[in-house]
A and B are shown apart, each in its own frame.
Chain A
Amino acid sequence: MSRHDIIIRVFGPQARLIGGPDIRVTLDSAGISCATLKRVIAAQYPVLTETLAASRIAVNFSFVADEAMIGGSDEIALIGAVSGG
């Protein structure tokens, strides 16, 4: 099984929590669902755990369901609670 890293963009309060605009997570398999990705983020970035329940994953600039699969070349973003307006 090959391990690989993916970059996930983060914003707003979550970016302040981790001190940067993105996180890098290490995956054990090539294809994972968004729900699994959120569990991996929680394990590798415990500081984000509390905010993940209210967070959604965006793939290539669109929100996706928890069961959606993530590919290696996708742009992935963690969208925490937003506060526009």
Chain B
Amino acid sequence: MIETLPVCVNIADGPVQAVELNVPDGAGAALEFRGIVRPLEEGRPLVGLNYQTYDPMAHMQLQKLAVAAVRQFQLFQVQVAHSRGFVPAGSCSMQIALFAGRRKSAIAAMDWLIDHIKQDVPIWKSPLFDASTVKSEPS
């Protein structure tokens, strides 16, 4: 029998359009995380971040991690969306939603998943600073 895992992963251009969550039957805890591009980087105003993804490996890694989280923490469902390309400051670059039976497993799963995304998914960000704040080199 083919196992259908309750995992949905998406990488798309631009800011993540965060979606409302539909709570699956039986879940006792729903947890959502949104990563937002900060307006400052090292004290300098930031226009936004450019995200480079290695496709399709980035999608495959997100899928593997989401499946691993479902199995390890007995989750009902995991949804992960991540940006590719430019995301302006203040916008969402990643949304994770997960559903568990209990609060503790939901929180532990979210922490585990974010840590592993930041270690094992081939995505790189580079800052785009406000040109008016770039320091000029001494002549």
Q: Which of A's residues lie within 8 Å of B, judged by CB?
A: 9, 11-13, 16, 58, 61-63, 77, 79-80, 82-85
* Residues of chain B contacted by A82 (CB below 8 angstroms): 118-124
B54 and A77 form a contact (CB under 8 A):
yes
Q: How large is the interface on B (under 10, 10 to 19, 20 to 34, 35 or more residues)?
A: 20 to 34
Which residues of B line the A interface, CB within 8 A? 35, 51-54, 56-58, 60, 82, 93-94, 114, 117-126
Point out the residues of chain A lying under 8 angstroms from B125, CB to CB.
Answer: 83-84
B66 CB → nearest A CB, Å: 14
Report the separation of the CA atoms of residues A11 and B58 in the bound assembly, to the nearest whole angstrom. Answer: 12
Q: Give how many A-B residue pairs fall within 8 Å (CB-CB).
A: 57
24 contacts between A and B (CB under 8 A): A9-B54, A11-B54, A12-B52, A13-B126, A16-B126, A58-B122, A61-B56, A62-B60, A77-B57, A77-B122, A79-B122, A82-B118, A82-B119, A82-B123, A83-B123, A83-B124, A84-B82, A84-B94, A84-B117, A84-B124, A84-B125, A85-B35, A85-B82, A85-B123
Which residue of the partner chain, among A12, A58, A80, contacts B57 with CB atoms under 8 Å? A58
The smallest beta-carbon distance between B17 and chain A, in angstroms, is: 17
**Neighbouring B residues of A58 by C-beta, 8 Å:** 54, 57, 122
Complex: how many Å from CA A17 to CA B123? 17
Task: Name B11's closest neighbour in chain A (CB-CB).
Answer: A84
Instruction: Report the nearest B residue to A16, measured CB to CB.
Output: B126
Query: Which of A16, A62, A84 lies in contact with B123, CB distance below 8 A?
Result: A84
